[in-house]
Structure 1
Amino acid sequence: MNVPTVVRSLVRSTPTIAPVPHRALLSVTGSQAGEFLNGVVASSVPPSRDSHFYTAFLHAQGRVLHDAFIHSYTSPEGKRGYLIEYDSRPSEAPPLLSTLKRYVLRSKVRLRDVSDEYDVWSAWGSETEKGWETAREWVNASSGAAEPVWKHEQESEWPWGNGPNALRDRRAVGMGHRLVVRKGDRPSQCSTHDTAAEEDYLLHRILHGVPEGNTDIVPMHSFPMDSNLDIMGALDFRKGCYVGQELTVRTYHTGIIRKRIFPVQIQPSIDFLSDIDIKAVNKAAPTEDSPRTRPRGTGKLLSSTQGVGLALLRLEHVAAVEEDRASLEFDLMSSDGGSSSKYAVRPWRPDWWPSFSVNEQ
């Protein structure tokens, strides 16, 4: 993982398991559950009902409502279906359950909120993950979008896994497994892994460059590719119609992606900031070979902990930082409102990422 030297000490080197906070779960059962989901999610539903996957629900205008894991599921009554796992915190997006019910119509589908019945955990760092985690291959579009290429000739090789209650988290290399257990139970991995806190899971995904939930992928405002949902495997640009498809596919083929979410180092170190504007500052007078960075727009710090975070940044500003033509920073007022402190923001690129362009556009 291409982590700056000063933050390498934050990476946990032992098998670790941690609860994932703020997660809601909806069950989708019925003979047409797969067909129903395929019409409303941004990725393709796998042919086998045993297969898990990662996806997104989009607004009709192409903005993100929720990023979501879809777990293969068998209800206590023995009914086959899926569990939709997504951020439970209130947002500008309408409630997902009521949104999905609008699309059921005459489909043989039953939707139910089962958030009170299950907990979600993340486990990572085990040697067993190396058996299925492979080097990434990519399909790159002229817009700057990038799709992972999954090779799964056999059902057992499905990238997100087929095992009961254990989804392979392929959003980034090294993310581990996503686990769903009955409410109040502890996963079996607790006997072989160090048990960590919720904040350790936040740090884990920041270090791997993985945005998640309402804080990082702001409902009704975020665009899918700006939020890295393409490189994390949540989008299928070749499937049939789904809600939000038109703008997403048009951007893929004819648009230009100008922003991405990057992991960043914050100096001096600070904890638990979010929704902070980041500005680009030119370091020197422009030359013909090194033009001045345009100040238009700002970045946004989304999540942070222990001096690292995730930030939505303009690609032209990232390019200027990488070429040492500009710096990124934000100001924070003191608690008494009398003075402000300046913080430097330095983005880095995880080594699992595709080589999408960060040149000025």
Structure 2
Amino acid sequence: MPTPASVRALVRATPTAVKLPNRALISVSGSQAAEFLNGLLSTAGLNPLFIKGRVIYDVFVHAMRDAKSQPSYLIEYDATTPTDTPALLPTLKRHVLRSRVRLRDASDEFDVWAAWCHDANANNSKLWTRTKSGAIEPVWDSWPWGMEGEALLDRRADGMGLRRLVKKGGRPQEISTHDEGVPDDYLLHRIVHGVPEGVVDIPPMQAFPMESNLDAMGALDFRKGCYVGQELTVRTYHTGVIRKRILPVLLNPSSAAPHYLNNGQPWPQFTAGLNIHASVAHAPGEGRIARPRGTGRLLSTVRGVGLALLRLEHVEGLEKGNLKFELLDGEAGASDNDTRWLVAPWWPGWWPKEVESV
């Protein structure tokens, strides 16, 4: 399932920089800041924070220097946290205990920007490994996430580009060579690359890290020392089975071809969390196809494409031509209630197809 040509046509062809909305920052400093974070985070670049094995925040960690030139860190996260989710700063403070660590909100000091172009910052992995559970890891031949005081290279997927912290109200150095885009451009960029981010794609206290592709994106180190939530994550890695993954999807009314948006119609609006139903695509020539059990879930969407959490057995059935995915009548937000939306997933180009089993 390659990326559809109609989707590739939606992507900006020029280098682009976008100021990201709703990103907050927490400063972590002090002589034991590194040890403190090491006990909470699963890697050193992109990380999830867990509660009972489920993700409550997916975060980036930016390495900095404080006023005394001592190592310090800024934790970047999605500030649009649902009201029933623990706030991040108080959650971190509960783990300080006697550590020599200072925590404070630094959201008013910096803006977060993303920048990318088509041929820049390809993934640096030379090998992928996979376990019997289906967990996938990139094996890096060098430090993948960038350097202290510089941009954070976005290694979640090939071509994602970089992230940069800029003093509040300032502009990044990339703006001199890149077009300035809008947040929807970044959202489309993420979706086309199959990269989930934030509370819509990784619902707090609901999402499992490997179903959210955090393993394949380099956010989980299964040989690292202890961290909060490690036990259930590693147990799944060794003895569990990963039954779902987040994939990019194309959304079309069942009566339209090849792509609804090429017909001059307004952008449809879809509500995150809608159920995606798998059904038999056609009557089999002989025998029978068992009715699919369970549903998928639509996540972020923009311009007729989106991310969706789908059952892998259903995806396999679609690849064989036995199943189809649909948003049923009346479930497509503000769209026409008589429209039945077809959901066509594809594997992003960077997704590892040849891996070494361990």
Q: Which moves more between the two structures, 134-143 or 256-265?
A: 134-143
- Measure, in 2, the Cα distance between the counterparts of 1:332 and 1:75: 55
Counterpart of 1:68 in 2: which secondary structure? strand
Matches within 5 A, 1:158-197: 158-197=143-182
* TM-score normalised by structure 2 residue count: 0.89
* Matched residue, 1:281: 279
Query: Distance in 2 between the 1:356 and 1:40 partners?
Result: 32
In the alignment, what sits opposite 2:8? Answer: 8
The residue that corresponds to 1:90 in the other structure is: 81
Match of 1:328 among 325, 336, 358: 325
Aligned in 2, Cα 1:101/1:182: closer, same or farther, shift over 3 Å? same
* Structure 2 residue identity aligned to 1:84: I
1:148 Cα shift? 0.5
How far off is 1:235 after superposition? 0.5
Q: CA deviation at 1:262?
A: 0.3
Q: Which amino acid aligns with 2:99?
A: S
Please name the residue that 2:59 is paired with.
68
Specify the code of the residue in structure 1 equivalent to 2:92: L
Structure 2: gaps of 5 or more residues: 254-259, 261-267
Identity of aligned residues (%): 54
Which of the residues 203, 228, 236 maps onto 1:218? 203
**Residue 343 of structure 2: SS of its match in structure 1?**
strand
Partner AA of 1:32 in structure 2: Q
Q: Which residue of 1 aligns with 2:217?
A: 232
- Is the partner of 1:10 in helix, strand or coil? coil
* TM-align CA RMSD: 2.3
Give the secondary-structure state (helix, strand or coil) at the position aligned to 1:149. Answer: strand
Partner Cα distance (1:110, 1:14) in 2: 41
- Inter-partner Cα distance in structure 2 for 1:33 and 1:336: 47
Letter aligned with residue 16 of structure 1: T
Contact (CA 8 Å) 1:293, 1:317: kept in 2 or not? no
Look up the equivalent residue of 1:303 and give its one-letter code. Answer: S
In the alignment, is the contact (CA less than 8 A) between 1:146 and 1:356 conserved in 2?
A: no
- Where do residues 221-260 of structure 1 align in structure 2 (5 Å cutoff)? 221-260=206-245
Query: In the comparison of the two structures, how many residue pairs are matched?
Result: 340
Distance in 2 (alpha carbons) for counterparts of 1:356 and 1:99: 39
- Contact 1:42 / 1:58 at 8 angstroms: preserved in 2? no
CA 339–128 in structure 1, closer or farther in 2 if over 3 Å, else same: closer
Aligned to 1:204: 189
In the TM superposition, what is the alpha-carbon distance from 1:345 to its structure 2 partner?
A: 0.2
From 71, 92, 95, give the equivalent of 1:103: 95
Deviations 1:121-179 (A, max 9, x none): 1000075535xx44552110100000010112xxxxx1111052410000000000011
Cα distance in 1 between the residues matched to 2:278 and 2:246: 16
The yes-or-no answer on 1:27 pairing with 2:27 is: yes
- Counterpart AA for 1:109: V
Amino acid at match of 2:47: T
Q: Secondary structure at the match of 2:231?
A: helix
**Which residue in 2 is equivalent to 1:348?**
346
Alignment match, 1:116: 108
- Aligned pair 1:298/2:295, yes or no? yes
SS in 2 for 1:345: strand
Q: Compute the displacement of 1:295 (Å).
A: 2.4
- 2:134 aligns with 144
TM-score by length of 1: 0.88
The one-letter amino acid paired with 1:142 is K
CA distance in 2, matches of 1:186, 1:337: 38
- Counterpart residue identity of residue 200, structure 2: T
Deviation at 1:283, TM superposition (A): 1.7
Q: Distance in 2 between matches of 1:336 and 1:64?
A: 30
**Quick one: structure 1 residues 104 and 24, their matched pair in 2 at CA, closer, same or farther if it must change by over 3 Å?**
same
What stretches of structure 1 of length at least 5 have no aligned partner? 46-52, 153-157
Moved more, 5-14 or 270-279: 270-279
Residue 294 of structure 1 deviates from its aligned partner by 4.1
User: Could you tell me how far apart the structure 2 residues matched to 1:167 and 1:219 are?
Assistant: 24
In the other structure, the counterpart of 2:264 is: none
Cα separation, partners in 2 of 1:286 and 1:258, compared to 1, 3 Å? farther
d(CA) in 2 for partners of 1:184, 1:244: 37
Structure 1 pair 213–335 and aligned structure 2 pair: CA distance change class (3 A): closer
User: Residues 9-44 of structure 1, C-alpha deviation per residue, up to 9 Å, x if partnerless?
Assistant: 01222111011111110011011111111111122x
SS of match in other structure, 2:314: helix
**Aligned partner letter, 2:347:** R
Cα gap change, 1:164 to 1:343, in 2 (>3 Å)? same
2:8 alignment partner, SS class: helix
- What is the rounded CA distance, in whole Å, between the counterparts of 1:323 and 1:126 in structure 2? 32
Paired amino acid for 1:297:
G
Q: Give the Cα separation in 2 of the matches to 1:32 and 1:238.
A: 22
Report the 3-state secondary structure (helix = DSSP H, G, I; strand = E; otherwise coil) of the residue aligned with 2:9.
helix
User: SS in structure 1 opposite 2:89?
Assistant: helix
2:121 aligned residue: 129
Instruction: Flag the 1:58–1:200 CA change in 2: closer, same or farther, 3 A.
Output: same
Letter in 2 for 1:253: H
Q: What is the alpha-carbon distance in structure 1 between the residues aligned to residue 252 and residue 33 of structure 2?
A: 48
In 2, Cα distance between equivalents of 1:83 and 1:336: 39
For residues 293 and 227 of structure 1, the distance between their equivalents in structure 2, rounded to whole angstroms, comes to 27
